[in-house]
A and B are shown apart, each in its own frame.
Chain A
Amino acid sequence: MKPLSKIQATALQLRLNHCCARVPEIQLILLATVDGFQQVVAGSQRGDAELPEKFAAIASSMMALGDAAGREVGSKTRLEAVVLDLSDLRVILRMVDGGKQQFVLATVAERKVSLSILLKIVYENARLLEEALR
């Protein structure tokens, strides 16, 4: 099953490219299916031969683990985001509701972008992607 049409993929690609151009500290934005297949990728690390494919699977695993952790501690809602705060980078994984299908939006940025600004960018991207996917 191919979850994205060519038109959808192009629209999403443009959106993610625009975001990376606007915020150069963002190194990678990647949209993956919840089961770890890379769909759209943008950013300076997109040229890495293996990274996007590998990171799509890792992002999917981390979201699923976050969701499981949430359920175990009594959360009644689905996981929205996972934040990795590294000493040099921030990684934010955000669930994207594509209507018939769920996706994971992974954003990797240098730490000089504040967490609040990065979260705002990620949530805004997710909203726009959800609109494009529905």
Chain B
Amino acid sequence: MVQEYKLLFAGGMGVGKTTAISAVSEIPPVSTDVANSDREAFDKELTTVTLDYGRITLPSGDRLRLYGIPGQQRFSFMWAMLEHGAMGMVLLADASRPDPFAELDIFLKSFHKLLRSGRAVLGVGRLSKRRGALDKYVAKLARRKIKIPVFSVDVRKKKDVLLLLDALFTQIEVLEDDYRGGEPAEKAAQSASSAHDPAGGLADSNAPAEGGKPSEKTNRGVFPVSDKEPAKDSEPSQTTQSANETTV
């Protein structure tokens, strides 16, 4: 029987939720973008005011329904509605913001239940290439007792978004194994991470080679990957950093 899974994309305004969903959705995403009148706060032409919606059908026939939240706090009345029934969450952050941790904190508080359950991953965009740049994010999560994989990503790249989804599914599957077998909860995060260990070559082990087919051993190999990148980007440009760093 075909299963339907609801996944949430969360994060502040302009972190790339709409772009991420557009990058991987097999249907033209349902978008509720309108003109952004607050260009002083964030210089972006359009902003999402209700939701984004996209869909991925897995080789098994199961479907992922991807929901993006509106990132601005005045739309927080939508957050709980969209979170309802979500199996997991991709949380996105933008390291180039003046205070990315304060912004991240809003979502760590608002979605603490889902995050504390471990059914989530954090993707950080526009991260400096300095070694260990992700450590502050891991420490931030740890202070809130959140143990999820953290990746440096460029959500304009389909393979980076698929990496996040693969890691999320690994995380969820390990947690389910844990539920059945009594494995410690934090092992889930470690498990997801080990599949993307930078020493072992994250991009090699999880994201497929350019133009290649998905690796058989990528997590559970749930995401088919085509070599086509999205035709255009609707978000501000990001650095060309690829998903090559991860930690938990």
B64 at the interface (CB under 8 A from A): no
Inter-subunit contact B77/A64 (CB<8 Å): no
Residue of B with least CB distance to A32? B37
On chain B, which size bracket covers the interface?
A: 20 to 34
Report how far A34 CA is from B75 CA in the complex, Å. Answer: 13
Residue B143 CB within 8 A of the other chain: no
CB pair B32 A37 closer than 8 Å: no
Find out whether the CB atom of A1 lies under 8 angstroms from the CB atom of B38.
yes
B contact residues around A58 at 8 Å (CB): 77
Give CA–CA (A102, B72) in the complex, Å.
Answer: 19
Asked if B39 CB lies within 8 Å of chain A CBs, one says yes
Report the Cα distance A111→B38, complex, angstroms.
Answer: 35
Pairwise interchain contact A34-B39, C-beta atoms closer than 8 A: no
Do B34 and A34 touch across chains, with their CB atoms under 8 A apart?
A: yes
Chain A contact residues (Cβ within 8 angstroms of B): what range?
20 to 34
Using CB atoms, name the residue of chain B closest to A2. B37
In the complex, are the beta carbons of B77 and A3 less than 8 A apart? no
B238 at the interface (CB under 8 A from A): no
B-contacting 9-mer, from A11-19, A65-73, A114-122, A126-134:
A65-73
User: In the complex, what distance in Å separates the CA atom of A101 from the CA atom of B34?
Assistant: 10
Contacts of A125 in B (CB 8 A): none
Task: Say if the beta carbon of B31 comes within 8 Å of chain A.
Answer: yes
Chosen A-B contacts, 23 in total, with CB atoms closer than 8 Å, are: A1-B37, A1-B39, A33-B35, A33-B37, A34-B34, A35-B35, A35-B36, A36-B74, A54-B74, A56-B74, A57-B49, A57-B77, A60-B49, A61-B49, A61-B50, A61-B70, A64-B32, A64-B33, A64-B49, A68-B31, A68-B32, A72-B30, A102-B35
B residues contacting A by CB (< 8 A) are: 30-40, 47, 49-51, 70, 72, 74-75, 77-78
